[in-house]
Amino acid sequence: MKRTILLCAISALAGAWISTWFATMPIERELTAQDVRPGMLQLPPSDELTPDERVNVNVYENANRSVVNITTKATRLDTFFFSVESSAEGAGSGSILDRQGHVLTNSHVIEGAQEIRVTLFNGETYPATLMGADPVYDIAVLKIDAPAETLYPVQFGNSNNLRVGQKVFAIGNPFGLERTMTVGIISSLNRSLPSRKARMMKSIIQIDAALNQGNSGGPLLDSRARLIGMNTAIASRTGENTGVGFAIPVNNILRVVPQLIENGRVIRPDIGITRVYQTEEGLVIATLASGGPAERAGLRGFRLVRQQQRRGPFVYEETQIDRSYADLIVAVDGVRIRLADDLLSAIEAKRPGEQVVLSVIREGREIQVPVTLGSGE
């Protein structure tokens, strides 16, 4: 009982002291310099950033005005019960290429769109026209008619000397949140990624910076705010970020973009081989384009052999395929190949009119066949 009375007395005295202290404190008064005493917690000045934070801020401040928000509208026909047109909307990101209004983005961002609009950093929105798209490498170029002084072209870097572990920055519009920056590292290089044209995109950059819906087409930057890639896809079972993203290297982009601006499409070199079969030894040529570069160079595909057979009083003509006649491609310009995509990649590294040398096995021996490339889609 004495202990309880003592505790109550102490509580009462403390309560009275606290009430008196609060009563003497000024009300709604700002903290002044005279109130700050040694030992009190102080906020650091706003310019007191760590070196790492300073890099992050500089990258964003130098590059964010180059990033645009892309919205699309497409009309589709629903025919479940009635023929009714409905509207489908999409969104993505892009980068300003120059003061003429060219904008870089992914081909899949604008695929099938009847209306494309581009919103700049200042909130101004402009209708965009499609200059050209390359679904094979998922690259597209748009054009907007905006004042040159409102356009801030992205600075180009070099993707040839990238290193795993290098710090990278992604800026885009995930979920419509404009010019959002995420930070990560290059987690791997030289990945292969299937495109929508059943081709493999080579030399893809793998990153762990967060990418989500709406980031497609946005820039991947290095620590000096230079474009080193374009964000294009994520690896995910849920459709949201799992820490594995992919970007198209800027050097690949720079090979394609001038053609899209000038021609509206990519003019690829053509070797005139229309079908091959993959084997463990190499690629067997099945068919050649009639009059194409490969046929003119003397390469061989499957040969059709017609034979006549007598059955009783009747004579039948049968056509058989002679696969042993076909050439087996084992190398291009001295580089061994195994897959059909290896052959396509080696050819596309050239230009129409240039020459490649195919190493082929014919009748048990290896020969070299020079082929002058034509042009195709």
Catalytic residues: 108, 138, 216
- Judge contact between 209 and 168, C-beta under 8 A: yes
Instruction: Specify the DSSP class assigned to residue 208.
Output: -
Closest CA to 182 of 247, 249, 85: 247
Helical residues (DSSP H) of the chain, grouped into ranges:
2-24, 51-63, 107-110, 250-263, 293-296, 340-348
User: How many whole angstroms separate alpha carbon 248 and alpha carbon 106?
Assistant: 10
User: How many whole angstroms separate alpha carbon 193 and alpha carbon 150?
Assistant: 35
Burial class (CB in 10 A: 0-12, 13-18, 19+), 277: middle
Tally of CA atoms within 13 A in the half-sphere of 222 that contains its CB: 20
SS3 116: strand
User: How many whole angstroms separate alpha carbon 357 and alpha carbon 372?
Assistant: 9
Q: Does an H or E element contain 320, and which?
A: strand 314-322
- Supply angle C-alpha 151, 47, 44, rounded to 5: 145
Any idea how long the chain is?
377
User: How many whole angstroms separate alpha carbon 106 and alpha carbon 84?
Assistant: 29
Number of H helices, E strands in the chain: 6, 23
Which tokens is 5 given? 């009375």
- Judge contact between 195 and 201, C-beta under 8 A: yes
